[in-house]
Amino acid sequence: MTDKLPPNLLALFAPRPPLRWVPPCDQPAEQRRTANIGGLADFLPALAQYEREYEYHPTESWLEHRDRKKLEKKASIEKIIADAPNTYKPDEDPNIRGDAFKTLIVARLDYKADEHDLEREFGRYGPIERIRIITDTHADEKGNKKRKPHRGYAFVVFEREKDMRGKTATLLNPRISHSLPTGVWPCANRTYGPQACLSCKSGPLFLSLPLQATP
């Protein structure tokens, strides 16, 4: 069939000349000598010596770091719960003064508010004996956390109990220093007795509010 093709196409199917023989660049195969290949057992002493000289310290993964932080936090909370009854001594706290039945708790306090704003707001209901805004005395131990002027709540001690239980009971979330609505509660209740106030160096931590507290 190919004999019927024209000469220009037959030239495309013609075989090429054979490759030129060139001597190999290295030793011939029959004269070649290589190193003997053995197992890995000869390297075990060297690996054991390397392990003794350079001790391996594995790094902590992010999952291990998360689990470790959870366990540390749980252990610290359990320690606080176990040690709190021994370290809780409210009678020895010099910052706790005044009668609980004459004291109002002011919560959700704006961070720009100060004693003058509280005195201007509550002084119209009666003479005030003492105003204490709780500050954070452990702010330096919290690393890069933003430091705030105070903890956001305060105690207002009136000179007379009737002033505290008078018109202040009609307060419905007053706004102090252009803040969000502020919560006001009495610190004690005559029906159920003085409410417990757990305290530490920075001031009261937990407050047991009366049943008729203003939301």
pLDDT in tens, 35-65: 777 788 888 999 899 988 888 888 899 999 9
User: What is the residue range of 170's domain?
Assistant: 92-140+148-207
Q: Is 3 contained in some domain?
A: no
CA angle 66, 67, 72 (to 5 degrees): 100
Q: Is 156 contained in some domain?
A: yes
Contacts (Cβ under 8 Å, ≥6 apart) of 17: none
In Å, what is the CA distance from 181 to each residue of 26, 151, 155, 176, 211? 93, 16, 17, 8, 20
R_g of the chain, CA atoms, integer Å: 43
Length of the chain in terms of residues written: 215
Identify the CATH number of the domain in which residue 189 sits.
Answer: 3.30.70.330
Q: Is 118 contained in some domain?
A: yes
Going by pLDDT thresholds of 50, 70 and 90, the confidence category of residue 72 is: very high
Q: Is 176 contained in some domain?
A: yes
Number of domains in the chain: 1
pLDDT of residue 203: 33
- In this prediction, residues 195-206 reach a mean pLDDT of 32
Does residue 131 or residue 188 have the better pLDDT?
131
Residue 200: CA count within 13 A, CB half-sphere: 13
Residue pLDDT, tens place only, 135-158: 887 777 766 777 888 888 899 899
Q: Is 99 contained in some domain?
A: yes
Residue pLDDT, tens place only, 99-108: 888 888 888 8
Q: Is 56 contained in some domain?
A: no
Q: Is 171 contained in some domain?
A: yes
Predicted structure pTM score: 0.47
Does residue 19 or residue 185 have the better pLDDT?
19
pLDDT of residue 202: 33
pLDDT of residue 183: 56
Q: Is 158 contained in some domain?
A: yes
Q: How far apart are CA 151 and CA 135, in angstroms?
A: 5
The answer to whether residue 190 scores a pLDDT higher than 50 is no
pLDDT of residue 105: 87
- In this prediction, residues 78-90 reach a mean pLDDT of 85
